[in-house]
Chain A
Amino acid sequence: MDKLMRLASGKDVVVFSKSSCCLCYAITILFQELGVTSTVHEIDQDPEGREIEKTLMRLGCNAPVPAIFVGGRLVGSTNEVMSLHLSGGLIPMLKPYQTWC
């Protein structure tokens, strides 16, 4: 729990992922398209990965990855991000973190 909160509570867009997860990759692509460079944590390459996975499941994620945090708050998984985007709520949420090069 501690490590998760430490990783997630930065003033940042954080995506918990696994290196083999292509859906996680898709989410990072979407963020890129919206001008956001997300911080990606591959939990399968983290020694405490199993703990993080359990915590994510406890927090209500059906699949542990991808799990997206914005500004320290859990937004959800792919479903939630997509719904938010289509309803127009994602971009306002991401505004503080957009970096257009």
Chain B
Amino acid sequence: MDFPSTQFVPSRIMGTYQPIHQIGMWGENFKSIGNPSISASVIVEVDNKLENESETASHEMPAPSCKHDQEASKPFDKIQRRLAQNREAARKSRLRKKAYVQQLESSRLKLMQLEKELEQAREQGLYIGGGLEAGHLGFSGAVSPGIAVFEMEYKHWMQVQNRQLGELRTALNAQISDIELRIVVENGMSHYFELFRMKSTVAKADVFYVMSGTWKTSAERFFSWIGGFRPSELLKVLVAQLDPLTDQQIFEVCNLKQSCQQAEDALSQGMEKLQETVSATLAAGQLGQGTYFPQVAMAMEKLEALVCFVNQADHLRQETLQQMSHILTTRQAARGLLALGEYIQRLQDLSTLWATHPREPA
């Protein structure tokens, strides 16, 4: 570097340039997450150095401008600019440091939360922990059989579902007879009824599992109503795909939609009553005494009713599909099943896209 010839300036300029170089170094450390403690100490050093430099510089500043006239005014301006740049750089550096530390903090909290959830999931036997961790946590490896069976069966169910959707597409494009198309439609309907049976079995083992929708993707869960899709929503999606419908069909579908909504309403209110009942039972007596087993036992008894609600909701779904297949022609029913299947696929793709979509750090 070339420096002006005056005595004072070089040392100050030397002093001011070094911190910028060090800030560059810290930038590198920022990228490597491995040694936050080291970069933190570098930051502190840099900050102190900068603060010292700008202080000493400002004290010494007036002197040269008095002693040296025009020659010194140009480097004087340069010095001022460089110092201002350094102060700015230091400020930005401090902000970056703050952001980095905040990011570390939130990641730490997230990690703690994930570890807690993992522990809970293992305790509930939802899955067998992988390798070393399982042994380390003393996990016995027992998995809830009902849930394990369901997850296996559901995976297979989805494969069959996708195959059937392909068959529907082919059948609709080919010129097959109504009778043959009817068989494809019946297979599709039976396949959904099979899912409801599977859900009923696992609901007896663990109704919360069914209610939570863990076995589905996140976007599907978003639309969940008592452990599955809402029949009236389903009708809304279907009707738009089924043009043209006859006037009679439109009338019947409207009635079906209204009946669905009324039934859903009634079940939803029943669920609210169940929540109130369980809550009241659980909170009975004085909270804070420390002994509460009777309340918990009674609340559990009340909670058994949740299985009935899940079964009723699935029954409603099944009846909705049945009624639609009565109202529609075979061809329309085939298109409806295909539309429904593809809608669910889109929901699943949305979930995947959402999970992999990069987001700004907090």
Write the residues of chain A forming the contact surface with B, with a CB cutoff of 8 angstroms: 20-23, 25-27, 29-30, 33-34, 63, 78-79, 82-83, 85-88, 90
CB distance from B142 to the nearest CB of A (A): 32
A79 touches B315 (CB 8 A): yes
Query: Which residues of A lie under 8 Å from residue B305 when comparing CB positions?
Result: 21-23
Nearest CB to that of A88 among chain B residues? B255
Interchain residue pairs with CB less than 8 A apart (30) = A20-B277, A20-B302, A21-B305, A22-B270, A22-B273, A22-B274, A23-B270, A25-B270, A25-B273, A26-B266, A26-B269, A26-B273, A29-B266, A30-B262, A30-B263, A63-B308, A78-B312, A79-B312, A79-B315, A82-B312, A82-B315, A85-B263, A86-B259, A86-B263, A86-B320, A86-B323, A87-B319, A88-B256, A88-B259, A90-B259
Write the residues of chain B forming the contact surface with A, with a CB cutoff of 8 angstroms: 252, 255-256, 259-260, 262-263, 265-267, 269-271, 273-274, 277, 302, 305, 308-309, 312, 315-316, 319-320, 323
Instruction: Name B's interface SS.
Output: helix
B270 touches A87 (CB 8 A): no
A29 touches B269 (CB 8 A): yes
B277 touches A29 (CB 8 A): no
Query: Which residues of B lie under 8 Å from residue A27 when comparing CB positions?
Result: 266
Instruction: Name A's interface SS.
Output: helix
Provide the bound-state CA to CA distance between A66 and B319, in Å.
19
Query: Which residues of A lie under 8 Å from residue B256 when comparing CB positions?
Result: 86, 88
Q: Give 7 nearest A-B pairs by CB, closest first.
A: A26-B270, A30-B266, A22-B274, A29-B266, A22-B273, A26-B266, A86-B319
